Structure 1
Protein backbone atom coordinates (compact mmCIF):
# COMPACT_ATOMS: atom_id res chain seq x y z
CA UNK A 1 0.00 0.00 0.00
CA UNK A 2 2.85 2.37 0.84
CA UNK A 3 4.45 1.58 -2.50
CA UNK A 4 1.19 2.47 -4.29
CA UNK A 5 0.94 5.76 -2.41
CA UNK A 6 4.54 6.59 -3.30
CA UNK A 7 3.92 5.70 -6.95
CA UNK A 8 0.76 7.85 -7.05
CA UNK A 9 2.66 10.93 -5.94
CA UNK A 10 1.52 13.87 -3.83
CA UNK A 11 -1.94 14.22 -5.51
CA UNK A 12 -3.00 11.04 -3.67
CA UNK A 13 -2.86 12.73 -0.25
CA UNK A 14 -6.02 14.85 -0.67
CA UNK A 15 -7.78 11.68 -1.80
CA UNK A 16 -6.61 9.81 1.29
CA UNK A 17 -7.96 12.63 3.47
CA UNK A 18 -11.29 12.40 1.64
CA UNK A 19 -11.40 8.63 2.11
CA UNK A 20 -10.82 8.96 5.86
CA UNK A 21 -13.47 11.69 6.12
CA UNK A 22 -16.01 9.67 4.13
CA UNK A 23 -15.41 6.57 6.23
CA UNK A 24 -15.84 8.55 9.46
CA UNK A 25 -19.11 10.10 8.24
CA UNK A 26 -20.49 6.76 7.07
CA UNK A 27 -19.72 5.04 10.36
CA UNK A 28 -21.16 7.94 12.38
CA UNK A 29 -24.36 8.07 10.34
CA UNK A 30 -24.81 4.29 10.44
CA UNK A 31 -24.76 4.58 14.22
CA UNK A 32 -26.88 7.73 14.52
CA UNK A 33 -29.56 6.72 12.00
CA UNK A 34 -30.36 3.39 13.60
CA UNK A 35 -34.09 2.82 14.03
CA UNK A 36 -33.79 2.51 17.79
CA UNK A 37 -32.15 5.93 18.06
CA UNK A 38 -34.51 7.68 15.65
CA UNK A 39 -37.89 5.90 15.51
CA UNK A 40 -38.22 3.35 18.32
CA UNK A 41 -41.01 0.89 17.53
CA UNK A 42 -44.35 1.57 19.24
CA UNK A 43 -43.12 4.81 20.82
CA UNK A 44 -46.23 6.68 19.68
CA UNK A 45 -48.47 3.99 21.19
CA UNK A 46 -46.54 4.24 24.46
CA UNK A 47 -46.92 8.03 24.56
CA UNK A 48 -50.65 7.76 23.88
CA UNK A 49 -51.01 5.15 26.61
CA UNK A 50 -49.00 7.34 28.99
CA UNK A 51 -51.23 10.34 28.35
CA UNK A 52 -54.51 8.48 28.17
CA UNK A 53 -55.90 9.88 31.40
CA UNK A 54 -53.59 12.78 32.28
CA UNK A 55 -50.50 14.62 31.17
CA UNK A 56 -47.17 13.32 32.52
CA UNK A 57 -44.78 15.28 34.71
CA UNK A 58 -42.03 17.39 33.21
CA UNK A 59 -39.42 14.85 34.33
CA UNK A 60 -41.15 12.14 32.31
CA UNK A 61 -41.41 14.47 29.32
CA UNK A 62 -37.69 15.21 29.58
CA UNK A 63 -36.87 11.50 29.57
CA UNK A 64 -39.09 11.10 26.52
CA UNK A 65 -37.27 13.91 24.73
CA UNK A 66 -33.86 12.42 25.51
CA UNK A 67 -34.83 8.91 24.40
CA UNK A 68 -34.74 9.40 20.62
CA UNK A 69 -35.24 11.85 17.78
CA UNK A 70 -38.95 11.02 17.54
CA UNK A 71 -39.18 11.26 21.32
CA UNK A 72 -37.87 14.84 21.17
CA UNK A 73 -40.56 15.76 18.63
CA UNK A 74 -43.37 14.18 20.63
CA UNK A 75 -42.09 15.66 23.88
CA UNK A 76 -42.25 19.15 22.37
CA UNK A 77 -45.98 18.76 21.79
CA UNK A 78 -46.64 17.36 25.26
CA UNK A 79 -44.57 20.14 26.82
CA UNK A 80 -46.50 22.75 24.83
CA UNK A 81 -49.85 21.51 26.16
CA UNK A 82 -48.53 21.42 29.72
CA UNK A 83 -47.14 24.96 29.55
CA UNK A 84 -50.12 26.43 27.68
CA UNK A 85 -53.45 24.77 28.62
CA UNK A 86 -55.35 27.02 26.19
CA UNK A 87 -53.24 26.00 23.18
CA UNK A 88 -55.11 25.60 19.92
CA UNK A 89 -54.75 23.05 17.16
CA UNK A 90 -52.82 25.40 14.87
CA UNK A 91 -50.37 26.37 17.60
CA UNK A 92 -49.82 22.74 18.55
CA UNK A 93 -49.18 21.78 14.93
CA UNK A 94 -46.74 24.69 14.62
CA UNK A 95 -44.91 23.39 17.69
CA UNK A 96 -44.59 19.95 16.12
CA UNK A 97 -43.44 21.46 12.81
CA UNK A 98 -40.72 23.48 14.53
CA UNK A 99 -39.51 20.45 16.46
CA UNK A 100 -39.70 18.37 13.28
CA UNK A 101 -37.49 20.79 11.36
CA UNK A 102 -34.91 20.66 14.13
CA UNK A 103 -35.09 16.84 14.09
CA UNK A 104 -34.61 16.66 10.31
CA UNK A 105 -31.63 19.00 10.57
CA UNK A 106 -30.19 16.65 13.17
CA UNK A 107 -30.76 13.63 10.92
CA UNK A 108 -29.10 15.36 7.95
CA UNK A 109 -25.94 16.17 9.89
CA UNK A 110 -22.76 15.51 7.88
CA UNK A 111 -24.70 14.41 4.78
CA UNK A 112 -23.59 17.52 2.89
CA UNK A 113 -20.01 16.62 3.78
CA UNK A 114 -20.46 13.12 2.39
CA UNK A 115 -22.10 14.48 -0.76
CA UNK A 116 -19.26 16.95 -1.23
CA UNK A 117 -16.68 14.18 -0.93
CA UNK A 118 -18.59 12.08 -3.47
CA UNK A 119 -18.52 15.01 -5.90
CA UNK A 120 -14.97 16.19 -5.22
CA UNK A 121 -13.17 12.82 -5.24
CA UNK A 122 -13.42 12.30 -9.04
CA UNK A 123 -12.23 15.87 -9.60
CA UNK A 124 -9.25 15.30 -7.32
CA UNK A 125 -8.53 12.10 -9.22
CA UNK A 126 -8.78 14.04 -12.48
CA UNK A 127 -6.34 16.61 -11.12
CA UNK A 128 -3.87 13.81 -10.36
CA UNK A 129 -4.40 12.48 -13.89
CA UNK A 130 -3.62 15.88 -15.38
CA UNK A 131 -0.51 16.19 -13.22
CA UNK A 132 0.58 12.73 -14.36
CA UNK A 133 0.02 13.68 -18.01
CA UNK A 134 2.11 16.81 -17.50
CA UNK A 135 4.95 14.65 -16.16
CA UNK A 136 4.56 12.29 -19.13
CA UNK A 137 4.83 15.10 -21.65
CA UNK A 138 7.68 16.62 -19.67
CA UNK A 139 9.63 13.38 -20.00
CA UNK A 140 9.46 13.51 -23.79
CA UNK A 141 12.45 15.52 -24.94
CA UNK A 142 13.76 15.90 -28.49
CA UNK A 143 16.87 13.94 -27.61
CA UNK A 144 14.93 11.02 -26.08
CA UNK A 145 12.57 10.36 -23.23
CA UNK A 146 13.23 9.71 -19.57
CA UNK A 147 11.82 6.21 -18.86
CA UNK A 148 11.74 6.71 -15.09
CA UNK A 149 9.85 10.00 -15.35
CA UNK A 150 7.52 8.50 -17.95
CA UNK A 151 6.69 5.55 -15.69
CA UNK A 152 6.13 7.86 -12.72
CA UNK A 153 3.80 10.06 -14.76
CA UNK A 154 1.74 7.04 -15.84
CA UNK A 155 1.53 5.84 -12.23
CA UNK A 156 0.35 9.25 -11.03
CA UNK A 157 -2.27 9.46 -13.76
CA UNK A 158 -3.72 5.97 -13.31
CA UNK A 159 -3.54 5.57 -9.54
CA UNK A 160 -5.21 8.92 -8.84
CA UNK A 161 -8.01 8.22 -11.29
CA UNK A 162 -8.64 4.83 -9.71
CA UNK A 163 -8.51 6.19 -6.14
CA UNK A 164 -10.88 9.01 -7.01
CA UNK A 165 -13.47 6.58 -8.36
CA UNK A 166 -12.98 4.12 -5.48
CA UNK A 167 -13.82 6.91 -3.03
CA UNK A 168 -16.58 8.59 -5.01
CA UNK A 169 -18.69 5.53 -5.84
CA UNK A 170 -19.21 4.19 -2.27
CA UNK A 171 -19.61 7.74 -0.92
CA UNK A 172 -22.36 8.47 -3.45
CA UNK A 173 -24.11 5.16 -2.69
CA UNK A 174 -24.11 5.82 1.05
CA UNK A 175 -25.20 9.42 0.51
CA UNK A 176 -28.23 8.26 -1.48
CA UNK A 177 -28.98 5.58 1.10
CA UNK A 178 -28.84 8.01 4.02
CA UNK A 179 -30.89 10.59 2.13
CA UNK A 180 -33.63 8.03 1.49
CA UNK A 181 -33.51 6.95 5.13
CA UNK A 182 -33.91 10.54 6.34
CA UNK A 183 -36.86 11.07 3.97
CA UNK A 184 -38.54 7.93 5.32
CA UNK A 185 -37.97 9.00 8.93
CA UNK A 186 -39.33 12.47 8.16
CA UNK A 187 -42.55 11.02 6.78
CA UNK A 188 -42.96 8.74 9.80
CA UNK A 189 -42.42 11.65 12.21
CA UNK A 190 -45.04 13.71 10.39
CA UNK A 191 -47.52 10.86 10.67
CA UNK A 192 -46.72 10.38 14.37
CA UNK A 193 -47.22 14.09 15.10
CA UNK A 194 -50.50 14.15 13.17
CA UNK A 195 -51.70 11.18 15.20
CA UNK A 196 -50.77 12.80 18.51
CA UNK A 197 -52.31 16.25 17.86
CA UNK A 198 -55.99 15.30 18.38
CA UNK A 199 -55.03 13.15 21.36
CA UNK A 200 -53.24 16.00 23.15
CA UNK A 201 -55.97 18.51 22.31
CA UNK A 202 -58.27 16.60 24.66
CA UNK A 203 -56.29 18.14 27.52
CA UNK A 204 -56.43 21.68 26.16
CA UNK A 205 -58.80 24.03 27.95
CA UNK A 206 -61.33 25.67 25.58
CA UNK A 207 -60.50 29.33 25.07
CA UNK A 208 -63.88 30.47 26.36
CA UNK A 209 -63.48 28.48 29.59
CA UNK A 210 -61.36 29.64 32.52
CA UNK A 211 -58.10 27.77 33.05
CA UNK A 212 -57.83 25.70 36.19
CA UNK A 213 -55.38 27.06 38.74
CA UNK A 214 -52.18 25.05 39.09
Structure 2
Protein backbone atom coordinates (compact mmCIF):
# COMPACT_ATOMS: atom_id res chain seq x y z
CA UNK A 1 0.00 0.00 0.00
CA UNK A 2 2.82 2.36 0.92
CA UNK A 3 4.53 1.59 -2.39
CA UNK A 4 1.34 2.49 -4.26
CA UNK A 5 1.03 5.79 -2.36
CA UNK A 6 4.66 6.65 -3.12
CA UNK A 7 4.13 5.80 -6.78
CA UNK A 8 1.04 8.02 -6.98
CA UNK A 9 2.97 10.86 -5.32
CA UNK A 10 5.77 10.53 -7.87
CA UNK A 11 3.26 10.53 -10.74
CA UNK A 12 1.54 13.62 -9.30
CA UNK A 13 4.87 15.45 -9.25
CA UNK A 14 5.25 14.85 -12.97
CA UNK A 15 2.88 17.72 -13.76
CA UNK A 16 -0.19 18.11 -15.95
CA UNK A 17 1.40 16.33 -18.93
CA UNK A 18 1.08 13.11 -16.96
CA UNK A 19 -2.67 13.33 -17.70
CA UNK A 20 -2.38 12.77 -21.50
CA UNK A 21 0.23 10.07 -20.88
CA UNK A 22 -2.17 8.34 -18.50
CA UNK A 23 -5.00 8.66 -21.03
CA UNK A 24 -2.74 7.16 -23.71
CA UNK A 25 -2.05 4.19 -21.44
CA UNK A 26 -5.78 3.65 -20.79
CA UNK A 27 -6.69 3.83 -24.50
CA UNK A 28 -3.78 1.54 -25.44
CA UNK A 29 -4.76 -1.01 -22.79
CA UNK A 30 -8.39 -0.98 -23.97
CA UNK A 31 -7.39 -1.51 -27.62
CA UNK A 32 -4.90 -4.26 -26.76
CA UNK A 33 -7.50 -6.18 -24.72
CA UNK A 34 -10.21 -5.69 -27.37
CA UNK A 35 -7.95 -6.79 -30.24
CA UNK A 36 -6.67 -9.74 -28.21
CA UNK A 37 -10.23 -10.96 -27.64
CA UNK A 38 -11.25 -10.43 -31.28
CA UNK A 39 -8.18 -12.21 -32.68
CA UNK A 40 -8.51 -15.07 -30.19
CA UNK A 41 -12.14 -15.63 -31.22
CA UNK A 42 -11.13 -15.51 -34.90
CA UNK A 43 -8.58 -18.30 -34.54
CA UNK A 44 -9.41 -21.46 -36.51
CA UNK A 45 -7.68 -24.33 -38.28
CA UNK A 46 -7.93 -23.06 -41.85
CA UNK A 47 -6.14 -26.04 -43.37
CA UNK A 48 -8.57 -28.47 -41.72
CA UNK A 49 -11.49 -26.32 -42.90
CA UNK A 50 -10.27 -26.40 -46.50
CA UNK A 51 -9.88 -30.19 -46.37
CA UNK A 52 -13.51 -30.52 -45.23
CA UNK A 53 -14.72 -28.11 -47.93
CA UNK A 54 -12.78 -30.00 -50.60
CA UNK A 55 -14.26 -33.30 -49.42
CA UNK A 56 -17.80 -31.88 -49.54
CA UNK A 57 -17.25 -30.30 -52.96
CA UNK A 58 -16.01 -33.61 -54.37
CA UNK A 59 -19.25 -35.16 -53.14
CA UNK A 60 -21.15 -32.34 -54.86
CA UNK A 61 -22.51 -31.03 -51.55
CA UNK A 62 -21.83 -27.31 -52.00
CA UNK A 63 -24.65 -26.23 -49.67
CA UNK A 64 -23.16 -28.29 -46.85
CA UNK A 65 -19.80 -26.60 -47.49
CA UNK A 66 -21.49 -23.19 -47.18
CA UNK A 67 -23.15 -24.30 -43.92
CA UNK A 68 -19.76 -25.44 -42.63
CA UNK A 69 -18.30 -21.99 -43.32
CA UNK A 70 -21.22 -20.34 -41.51
CA UNK A 71 -20.60 -22.49 -38.42
CA UNK A 72 -16.83 -21.95 -38.45
CA UNK A 73 -15.46 -18.81 -36.73
CA UNK A 74 -12.76 -16.68 -38.28
CA UNK A 75 -12.26 -14.37 -41.26
CA UNK A 76 -11.09 -17.10 -43.65
CA UNK A 77 -14.38 -18.98 -43.27
CA UNK A 78 -16.36 -15.84 -44.12
CA UNK A 79 -14.27 -15.22 -47.24
CA UNK A 80 -14.63 -18.83 -48.37
CA UNK A 81 -18.39 -18.62 -47.88
CA UNK A 82 -18.54 -15.61 -50.23
CA UNK A 83 -16.69 -17.58 -52.88
CA UNK A 84 -18.87 -20.67 -52.47
CA UNK A 85 -22.07 -18.62 -52.76
CA UNK A 86 -20.90 -17.46 -56.20
CA UNK A 87 -19.43 -20.77 -57.31
CA UNK A 88 -21.87 -20.96 -60.24
CA UNK A 89 -20.73 -17.56 -61.59
CA UNK A 90 -17.82 -16.70 -63.88
CA UNK A 91 -14.24 -16.89 -62.61
CA UNK A 92 -13.73 -13.10 -62.54
CA UNK A 93 -16.91 -12.57 -60.55
CA UNK A 94 -15.93 -15.24 -58.02
CA UNK A 95 -12.45 -13.74 -57.73
CA UNK A 96 -13.90 -10.26 -57.23
CA UNK A 97 -16.26 -11.44 -54.50
CA UNK A 98 -13.44 -13.22 -52.67
CA UNK A 99 -11.12 -10.20 -52.91
CA UNK A 100 -13.86 -7.85 -51.69
CA UNK A 101 -14.68 -10.11 -48.74
CA UNK A 102 -10.97 -10.50 -47.97
CA UNK A 103 -10.41 -6.74 -47.87
CA UNK A 104 -13.41 -6.32 -45.58
CA UNK A 105 -12.16 -8.97 -43.16
CA UNK A 106 -8.62 -7.55 -43.16
CA UNK A 107 -10.07 -4.11 -42.40
CA UNK A 108 -11.87 -5.55 -39.36
CA UNK A 109 -8.70 -7.34 -38.23
CA UNK A 110 -6.63 -4.14 -38.45
CA UNK A 111 -9.23 -1.94 -36.72
CA UNK A 112 -7.71 0.48 -34.14
CA UNK A 113 -4.18 -0.72 -34.94
CA UNK A 114 -3.32 2.73 -36.30
CA UNK A 115 -4.35 4.30 -32.99
CA UNK A 116 -2.10 1.84 -31.15
CA UNK A 117 0.85 2.73 -33.40
CA UNK A 118 0.20 6.45 -32.83
CA UNK A 119 0.18 6.00 -29.04
CA UNK A 120 3.43 4.01 -29.21
CA UNK A 121 5.05 6.93 -31.02
CA UNK A 122 3.46 9.91 -29.30
CA UNK A 123 3.62 8.85 -25.62
CA UNK A 124 7.45 9.18 -25.39
CA UNK A 125 7.25 12.56 -27.16
CA UNK A 126 4.69 13.84 -24.64
CA UNK A 127 6.99 12.63 -21.88
CA UNK A 128 9.96 14.40 -23.43
CA UNK A 129 7.91 17.58 -23.76
CA UNK A 130 7.10 17.36 -20.05
CA UNK A 131 10.78 17.05 -19.22
CA UNK A 132 11.71 20.02 -21.40
CA UNK A 133 9.03 22.25 -19.87
CA UNK A 134 10.04 21.05 -16.40
CA UNK A 135 13.71 21.86 -17.03
CA UNK A 136 12.77 25.29 -18.36
CA UNK A 137 10.77 25.97 -15.21
CA UNK A 138 13.67 24.75 -13.03
CA UNK A 139 16.23 27.01 -14.72
CA UNK A 140 13.84 29.96 -14.62
CA UNK A 141 13.58 29.44 -10.86
CA UNK A 142 17.38 29.32 -10.58
CA UNK A 143 17.59 32.60 -12.49
CA UNK A 144 14.95 34.15 -10.25
CA UNK A 145 16.97 33.19 -7.20
CA UNK A 146 20.07 34.60 -8.91
CA UNK A 147 21.91 31.30 -8.67
CA UNK A 148 21.59 31.00 -4.89
CA UNK A 149 20.20 27.48 -4.91
CA UNK A 150 21.73 24.35 -3.43
CA UNK A 151 22.38 21.10 -5.27
CA UNK A 152 19.56 19.24 -3.48
CA UNK A 153 16.92 21.70 -4.69
CA UNK A 154 18.34 21.59 -8.23
CA UNK A 155 18.38 17.78 -8.24
CA UNK A 156 14.77 17.73 -7.00
CA UNK A 157 13.64 19.92 -9.87
CA UNK A 158 15.50 17.81 -12.42
CA UNK A 159 14.19 14.41 -11.28
CA UNK A 160 10.64 15.73 -11.18
CA UNK A 161 11.08 16.96 -14.74
CA UNK A 162 12.34 13.51 -15.81
CA UNK A 163 9.24 11.71 -14.48
CA UNK A 164 7.22 12.43 -17.62
CA UNK A 165 9.95 11.05 -19.88
CA UNK A 166 10.10 7.83 -17.86
CA UNK A 167 6.30 7.51 -17.91
CA UNK A 168 6.10 8.25 -21.63
CA UNK A 169 8.79 5.69 -22.42
CA UNK A 170 7.10 3.01 -20.30
CA UNK A 171 3.77 3.56 -22.07
CA UNK A 172 5.38 3.85 -25.51
CA UNK A 173 7.62 0.78 -25.23
CA UNK A 174 4.87 -1.41 -23.76
CA UNK A 175 2.40 -0.32 -26.43
CA UNK A 176 4.97 -0.87 -29.19
CA UNK A 177 5.65 -4.43 -28.01
CA UNK A 178 1.96 -5.33 -27.98
CA UNK A 179 1.42 -3.54 -31.30
CA UNK A 180 4.06 -5.67 -33.01
CA UNK A 181 2.64 -8.82 -31.44
CA UNK A 182 -0.87 -8.01 -32.69
CA UNK A 183 0.42 -7.05 -36.15
CA UNK A 184 2.15 -10.44 -36.38
CA UNK A 185 -1.12 -12.19 -35.52
CA UNK A 186 -3.04 -10.11 -38.08
CA UNK A 187 -0.46 -10.95 -40.76
CA UNK A 188 -0.95 -14.62 -39.99
CA UNK A 189 -4.69 -14.24 -40.53
CA UNK A 190 -4.07 -12.37 -43.79
CA UNK A 191 -1.83 -15.20 -45.01
CA UNK A 192 -4.51 -17.76 -44.11
CA UNK A 193 -7.16 -15.75 -45.98
CA UNK A 194 -5.00 -15.46 -49.10
CA UNK A 195 -3.89 -19.09 -49.01
CA UNK A 196 -7.38 -20.53 -48.47
CA UNK A 197 -8.84 -18.19 -51.12
CA UNK A 198 -6.33 -19.43 -53.69
CA UNK A 199 -7.09 -23.04 -52.74
CA UNK A 200 -10.82 -22.42 -53.16
CA UNK A 201 -10.33 -20.78 -56.57
CA UNK A 202 -8.27 -23.76 -57.74
CA UNK A 203 -10.98 -26.10 -56.45
CA UNK A 204 -13.79 -24.20 -58.21
CA UNK A 205 -11.84 -23.96 -61.48
CA UNK A 206 -11.17 -27.70 -61.34
CA UNK A 207 -14.87 -28.32 -60.68
CA UNK A 208 -15.89 -26.19 -63.68
CA UNK A 209 -13.40 -27.97 -65.94
CA UNK A 210 -14.80 -31.32 -64.83
CA UNK A 211 -18.37 -30.14 -65.49
CA UNK A 212 -17.45 -28.84 -68.95
CA UNK A 213 -15.69 -32.09 -69.83
CA UNK A 214 -18.74 -34.08 -68.71
CA UNK A 215 -21.06 -31.90 -70.81
CA UNK A 216 -18.88 -32.43 -73.89
CA UNK A 217 -18.98 -36.19 -73.36
CA UNK A 218 -22.77 -36.13 -73.05
CA UNK A 219 -23.11 -34.09 -76.23
* TM-score of the two chains, using structure 2 as the length reference: 0.80
Instruction: Give the whole-Å Cα distance in 2 for the aligned partners of 1:74 and 1:59.
Output: 8
Gaps of 5+ in 1: 210-214
Instruction: Give the whole-Å Cα distance in 2 for the aligned partners of 1:20 and 1:146.
Output: 39
1:144-201 per-residue CA deviation (whole Å, 9 max, x = no partner) reads 3499985663243211010111011121122222222222221221111111113234
Gaps of 5+ in 2: 1-6
SS at match of 1:67: coil
Report what 1:54 is aligned to.
61
Report what 1:212 is aligned to.
none
Report what 2:174 is aligned to.
170
- Aligned residue runs from structure 1 range 72-151, under 5 A: 72-81=78-87, 85=88, 87-140=89-142, 141=144, 142=146, 144-145=148-149, 150=154
Aligned residues: 201
Conservation of the 8 A alpha-carbon contact between 1:61 and 1:78: no
175 and 143 in structure 1: CA distance in 2 versus 1, 3 angstrom threshold: closer
Give the number of the structure whose residues are more often helix, by fraction.
2
138 and 71 in structure 1: CA distance in 2 versus 1, 3 angstrom threshold: same
Instruction: Give the whole-Å Cα distance in 1 for the aligned partners of 2:203 and 2:120.
Output: 44
Deviation at 1:76, TM superposition (A): 0.6
Instruction: Give the whole-Å Cα distance in 2 for the aligned partners of 1:22 and 1:60.
Output: 37
